[in-house]
């Protein structure tokens, strides 16, 4: 109950409630998505980024599919 009141009070502090309603939070989600995208492109964990792994897996799947067609 106490946490719910605190969350409601925090959400009331975000301006634009009357004009935009729930959509007033949209800029926060836009910035969060952009930050997540930047993190996946630029931050290396070990030796690879998210996109390095994605490209490698995609090429492996394409190679396996072409091998199955050739058999």
The model's pLDDT over 24-46, given as tens digits with 9 standing for 90+, comes to 999 999 999 999 999 999 999 88
**Contact 17/24 with Cβ under 8 angstroms?**
yes
The helix/strand/coil state of 48 is strand
What pLDDT is recorded for position 60? 95
What pLDDT is recorded for position 70? 77
Q: How much is the pTM?
A: 0.62
**In the chain, what are the domain boundaries?**
5-68
What does the alpha-carbon distance between residue 3 and residue 10 come to, in Å, rounded to a whole number? 10
CA of 68: how far to CAs of 27, 36, 55, 61, 62, in Å? 46, 36, 20, 11, 10
* Residue 22, pLDDT above cutoff 80: yes
The burial class, CB within 10 Å (0-12 / 13-18 / 19+), for 2 is: exposed
């Amino acid at each position: 109950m106490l946490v719910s009141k605190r969350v409601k009070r925090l959400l009331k502090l975000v301006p634009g409630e009357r004009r935009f309603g729930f959509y007033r939070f949209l800029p926060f989600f836009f910035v969060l998505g952009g930050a997540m995208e930047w993190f996946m492109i630029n931050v290396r964990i070990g030796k690879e980024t998210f996109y390095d792994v994605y490209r490698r897996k995609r090429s492996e799947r394409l190679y396996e599919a072409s091998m199955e067609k050739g058999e």
